[in-house]
Amino acid sequence: MKEVVVLVGSGSIGQAIARRVGAGKKIILGDLKISAANDAAKILENAGFETSTVEVDISSRESILNLIEHAKKFGEIKNLINAAGVSPSQASVEKILQVDLYGTAVLLEEFGKIISEGGSGVIISSQSGHRLHALTEEENFLLATTPTEKLLEIDFLKKISDTLKAYQFAKRGNVLRVMYEATKWGKRNATINSISPGIIITPLANDELHGPRGEGYRKMLEKSPAKRAGTPDEVGDLAEFLMSSRGKFISGADFLIDGGTTASYFFGDLQYLKKTH
């Protein structure tokens, strides 16, 4: 029996984090596409990590509970990494809210019940959540604390008709939900935080940069303070710190890692994006 790291969403960012916290542990890779989980497992196995794969749909509580039961076969669950989600160009408003908002909320809730003493977790959110207009105190409270099975019944969520807006609300909801659940994780001396990346080079992002909308993306990167995209390893370095003993005093927090793009969106050369967002 070993300490267990559960990675949900087996893409480049999730793998980068798992490499940094998974040495000597059992890494459980959960993905909607079992083939993607198996491909990631092969890469990690060839780098010296021990893995197991399982199909998981985070929009289903039953599927999440099945993931937990699978992981518990190998030992105590020490770490949770959630890098799963869908984008505004991939899915409908309903699917985005089901996966990115509700699914993340259920993960936080269920893993908070069983995370081992002194454990830690990170939720990958997005810079998009920082571009949403300021919400009222009541709206923040509802997104943070509404029981998960009633989360999608919130009135202002049911009025969303645009996929980008749904994504922004989901990601803002992730950050608020992490704050709420951190109070419960703390009872197990465990920490939970969120990370909000900007454009990070992954296979999907590379496709976007060289696709029909590539010129717009490249212009946005050129006008950002960092003047480039980020890498999965940079997100992994931040997550490693948060999940290590050095990050034990940090919980319920969100960390924006976007090369200054959001700063420029509000106050710099990227203010033109406000017209399209």
Residue numbers annotated as active site: 167, 171
DSSP-based three-state secondary structure for 39:
helix
d(CA 112, CA 143): 18
The CA–CA distances, whole Å, from 53 to 24, 40, 64, 230, 277 equal: 17, 9, 13, 28, 37
Residue of 236, 185, 180 lying closest to 78 (CA atoms): 185
Quick count: other Cβ atoms within 10 Å of Cβ 135?
16
DSSP per-residue string spanning 91-141? S-HHHHIIIIIIIHHHHHHHHHHHPPTT-EEEEE--GGGGSSPPPPHHHHH
For tokens 């807006």, what's the residue? 165
Residue type, position 248, single letter = K
d(CA 105, CA 247): 22
Residue type, position 149, single letter = E
d(CA 144, CA 180): 6
Question: Residue 249 burial (CB < 10 Å; 0-12/13-18/19+)?
Answer: exposed
